[in-house]
Amino acid sequence: MSYPDWRIRGPEISTCNCNWGCPCQFNSVPTHGHCRAGVAMRIDEGFYGDVRLDRLLWSALFAWPGAIHDGDGEALIILDERADDDQQAALLSILSGQSSRPGATVFNVFASTLTRLHDPVRAPIQFEVDEANWKGHFSVPGYIDANALPIANPVTGEAHRARVFLPHGFEYHEAEFVSSRTHAEGPIPLDWNIGHGHIAMIDMTPAGPAN
């Protein structure tokens, strides 16, 4: 089976309600028995066929009643309000996992675990990332506000750096693990002050991470 030619490259901030490190990254069950997450990405360079996706943003909210692989999850996709109709259709095709080889991308893997997909939203998305200090923030008015910051040493308060390499990962091959604070309203509520987060440079194709 052939898939559309597409690629998106740029920084991603991912936050979830698990403890630092996120057991899901190591094929274990979630810290609190269920998983809730907020994600956003800035596409520095991207295309879907002839449609350019450069500088567009997207965000997504997720919730699963148990471990992700147990399914029965729900998701809300938020698209950059600046995207025209062709760009919106291209982003939805990518983010829904429809344009990926089975199991190759986080979009396709997550899609296989969802039973409810809320209607997508077009909205203004704010996204900032400081790769030198591993901090970041993204927000969508009325939907989500999320912050990523270095994990703090409980004794000294200094930043505790942690980086993970997953050579066969379907989201990234390497990411900086951080702490997250996330609050979301609307169809998928999220609320935690200390949770897992990671910041990664995403380079995704239909066959999975390119680098």
**Domain positions in the chain:** 6-209
* Residue 8: C-alpha distances to residues 11, 140, 145 (Å): 10, 21, 23
**pLDDT given at position 1:** 61
What is the reported pTM?
A: 0.94
- What pLDDT score was predicted for residue 154? 87
Question: Are residues 36 and 17 in contact, defined by beta-carbon separation less than 8 angstroms?
Answer: yes
pLDDT score at 27: 84
Q: What is the pLDDT of residue 188?
A: 96
Residues listed for the chain: 211
What pLDDT is stored for residue 48 in this prediction? 97
What pLDDT was estimated at residue 4? 82
What pLDDT score was predicted for residue 23? 87
In angstroms and rounded to an integer, the radius of gyration of the C-alpha atoms of the chain is 16
Q: How far apart are CA 88 and CA 121, in angstroms?
A: 10
**What was the pLDDT predicted at 146?**
98
pLDDT at 73: 97
In one-letter notation, the amino acid at residue 101 is: R
φ/ψ of residue 86, rounded to 5: -65, -40
Phi, psi of 108 (to 5 degrees): -70, -40
Six-digit token pair at 124? 């203004």
Which residue bears the tokens 């990234």? Answer: 172
Q: Which residues of the chain have pLDDT under 70?
A: 1
State how far the alpha carbon of 113 is from the alpha carbons of 68, 71, 144, 211, in Å: 7, 4, 22, 25
Q: pLDDT tens across 131-159, in order?
A: 888 899 999 999 999 999 999 998 998 88
